[in-house]
């Protein structure tokens, strides 16, 4: 059974107060410029999100649990603040609903609060566009004890036209997921995110990194050439800084002709600071006493932020370990596909062909065919590996799960 997203948009408009029983239907705002369109729908979406937050405090109990964790203990000021969010059905029966979890589906609402302040909606361009997308939305069930996980990045918000975390300090973040159009809601735990001033050696990089257009490039909303050039300077002048890591991810996510940024080599030499960060992530990934979400966050950083050959043996071990959870193994597969080195291909082929779990098998096939551009065939690989060239990382970073 499939429901058209138009019904969900009407639901959102009703929540925002844009349609009342004693009024004529309100038309969607006319699109003039992109900036005007985003501004108008950000206003509507902010109203929707506020009402979602108010309703969530009195929402009926549900077997669904929404869990949020920061992807790292602290974040440098002006950098993307990232989190993993997991929805789990803790009940004994499946739950019916629309279970697309993520910022591009229009059902997840994110809120940020500074010290002694109230929660306000966070609205990236992706969140705003998700409210007006006209796609068919599948209804499905979340089986008992099953879970789904998504990644959320928080930086520039169209709700206030500025940084969601404008100064250093501790902020509170919570999320609410609307899994049905009948106001069925589940609220997350309230999480504290720590924003810190740049290290002394990163101060100059921070000054060049900071800016509205730079923030929009970092979250995939802009290809402003001046902002891209400044981010390239951050990487070139302060290659071992925290900010260079974030700039590299943003630049590598763009097509090379847009970014002017060279392909990162999997065997490149890392500076002492980046080497220490990668080592810390690898220790977290190995540590079975850590939570699954913490280890998944480490795997994601290893693939997305570093894409370095040094991590291939560990990721290979995790991906093939039947004693590890499926979600963690999936995170390792995705990380492997983001490393531009031919040694990751046999690992993905083994999973795509021999793995018994269909979720892992299908994910490995997707990473091979859609991300790396390789058929899931050992014969093809044996015949073509000497001629294969890794695709630019923009493809892996843009297409991966």
| Phi/psi at 169 (5° precision) | 140, -175
What is the pLDDT at residue 105?
82
Question: CA-to-CA distance for 90 and 54, rounded, in angstroms?
Answer: 24
348-385 pLDDT per residue, tens = 999 999 999 999 999 999 999 988 889 999 999 999 98
What average pLDDT does range 52-76 have in this prediction?
93
Q: What percent of the chain has pLDDT over 70?
A: 89
What average pLDDT does range 75-94 have in this prediction?
96
- Residue 386: CB atoms within 10 Å: 7
What is the pLDDT at residue 337?
93
The domain ranges of the chain are 2-196, 200-259, 272-399
Among 12-21, 44-53, 110-119, 286-295, which is the least confidently predicted range? 12-21
Sign of the C-alpha dihedral, residues 163, 263, 300, 365?
positive
233-270 pLDDT per residue, tens = 999 999 999 999 999 999 999 988 999 998 889 999 99
What average pLDDT does range 75-79 have in this prediction?
97
Q: Is the pLDDT of residue 134 over 60?
A: no
Residue 50's pLDDT band, with cuts at 50, 70 and 90, is very high
Among 9-23, 311-325, 384-398, which is the least confidently predicted range? 9-23
What average pLDDT does range 114-127 have in this prediction?
91
The tokens describing 144, both together, are 């008992």
Q: Can you give the chain as a three-state secondary structure string?
A: CEEEHHHHHHHHHHHCCCCCCCCCCCCCCCCCCHHHHHHHHHHHHHHHHHHHHHHHCCCCCCCEEEEEEECCCCEECCCCEEEEEEEEECCCCCEEECCCCCCCCCCEEEEEECCCCCCEEECCHHHHHHCCCCCEEECEEECCCCEEEEEEEECEECCCCEECCCCCEEEEEEEEEECCCCCCEEEECCEEEEEECCCHHHHHHHHHHCCHHHHHHHCCCCCCHHHHHHHHHHHHHCCCCHHHHHHHHHHHCCCHHHHCCCCCCCCCCCCHHHHHHHHHHHHHHHCCCCCHHHHHHHHHHHHHHHCCHHHHHHHHHHHHCCCCCHHHHHHHHHHHHCCCCCCHHHHHHHHHHHCCCHHHHHHHHHHHHHHHCCCCCHHHHHHHHHHCCCCCHHHHHHHCC
Residue 15's pLDDT band, with cuts at 50, 70 and 90, is very low
What is the reported pTM?
Answer: 0.86
| Cα 229 to the center of its chain, rounded Å | 24
Sign of the C-alpha dihedral, residues 369, 304, 359, 342?
positive
What is the pLDDT at residue 266?
94
Per residue in 165-187, is it b (16+ CB within 10 Å) or e — as a string? beebeebbbbbbbbbbbeebbbb
- Answer yes or no: same fold for 2-196 and 272-399: no
163-217 pLDDT per residue, tens = 999 999 999 999 999 988 776 899 999 999 999 999 999 999 999 999 999 999 9
What average pLDDT does range 48-77 have in this prediction?
93
What is the pLDDT at residue 115?
84
Nearest to 89 by CA among 175, 149, 147: 147
Q: Is the pLDDT of residue 347 over 80?
A: yes
For domain 2-196, the CATH class is: mainly beta
The structural architecture, per CATH, of the domain 272-399 is: Alpha Horseshoe (1.25)
- Residue 63: CB atoms within 10 Å: 16
Better-scored residue on pLDDT, 105 or 271: 271
Strand partners, 145: none
What average pLDDT does range 306-316 have in this prediction?
97
Residue 80's pLDDT band, with cuts at 50, 70 and 90, is very high
| Phi/psi at 102 (5° precision) | 150, 170
């Amino acid at each position: 059974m499939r429901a058209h997203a138009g019904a969900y948009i009407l639901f959102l408009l009703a929540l925002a107060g844009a349609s009342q029983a004693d009024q004529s239907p309100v038309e969607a705002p006319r699109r003039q410029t992109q900036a005007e369109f985003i501004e108008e729908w950000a206003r509507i979406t902010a109203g929707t999100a506020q009402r979602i937050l108010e309703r969530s405090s009195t929402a009926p109990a549900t077997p669904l649990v929404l869990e949020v964790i920061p992807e790292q203990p602290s974040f440098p000021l002006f950098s993307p603040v990232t989190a993993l969010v997991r929805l789990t059905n803790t009940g004994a029966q499946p739950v019916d609903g629309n279970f697309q979890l993520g910022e591009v589906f229009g059902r997840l609402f994110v809120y940020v609060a500074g010290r002694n302040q109230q929660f306000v909606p966070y609205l990236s361009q992706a969140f705003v566009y998700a409210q007006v997308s006209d796609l068919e939305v599948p209804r499905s069930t979340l089986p008992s004890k099953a879970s789904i996980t998504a990644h959320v990045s928080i930086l520039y918000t169209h709700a206030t036209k500025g940084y969601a975390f404008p100064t250093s300090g501790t902020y509170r973040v919570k999320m609410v997921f609307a899994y049905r159009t009948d106001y069925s809601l589940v609220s997350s735990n309230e999480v504290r995110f720590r924003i810190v001033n740049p290290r002394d050696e990163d101060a100059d990089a921070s000054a060049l990194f900071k800016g509205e257009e730079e923030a929009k490039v970092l979250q995939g909303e802009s290809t402003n050439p001046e902002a891209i050039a400044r981010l390239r300077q951050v990487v070139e002048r302060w290659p071992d800084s925290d900010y260079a890591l974030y700039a590299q991810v943003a630049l590598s996510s763009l097509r090379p002709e847009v970014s002017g940024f060279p392909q990162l080599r999997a065997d490149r030499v890392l500076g002492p600071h980046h080497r220490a960060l990668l080592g810390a992530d690898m220790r977290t990934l190995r540590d079975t006493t850590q939570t699954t979400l913490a280890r998944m966050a480490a795997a994601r950083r290893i693939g997305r932020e570093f894409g370095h050959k040094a991590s291939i043996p560990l990721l290979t071990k995790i991906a093939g370990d039947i004693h590890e959870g499926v979600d963690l193994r999936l995170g390792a597969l995705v990380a492997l596909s983001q490393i531009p080195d031919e040694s990751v291909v046999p690992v993905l082929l083994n999973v795509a062909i021999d793995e018994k779990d269909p979720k892992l098998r299908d994910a490995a096939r997707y990473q091979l065919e859609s991300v790396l551009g390789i058929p899931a065939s050992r014969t093809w690989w044996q015949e073509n590996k000497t001629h294969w060239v890794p695709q630019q990382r923009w493809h892996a970073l843009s297409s991966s799960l």
